[in-house]
Amino acid sequence: MENKENELELLKSILDTKRELGIANKNFETAELELVDYYSYQIKASKAKLDYLIKQVKQKGMSVDMINNLKMGLEETKAI
């Protein structure tokens, strides 16, 4: 049971990191000159975190389909 909870947390972390990366990319596109470096570092950090999390998923023998299924399940619960 604990293993499934860890896997679920890992998948949620991936979704959160992907969301953070998307936000950082959007902010970078509209950033004023003073904030360009900040958002580029944020993008780089989010990509590194995402790479690490995906590596963890692969090491646990989990599949990308699990991420997609979790995402669809979370969207369905938000609609309720």
SS (H, E, C) 10-35: HHHHHHHHHHHHHHHHHHHHHCCHHH
The structural domain count of the chain equals: 1
Q: Enter the pTM of the model.
A: 0.73
pLDDT given at position 37: 96
Per-residue pLDDT, 80: 43
The parent domain of residue 37 ranges over 2-79
pLDDT tens per residue, range 22-62: 999 999 999 999 999 999 999 999 999 999 998 998 888 88
Task: Give me the pLDDT at residue 58, please.
Answer: 86
pLDDT at position 2:
72
What per-residue confidence (pLDDT) applies to 27?
A: 96
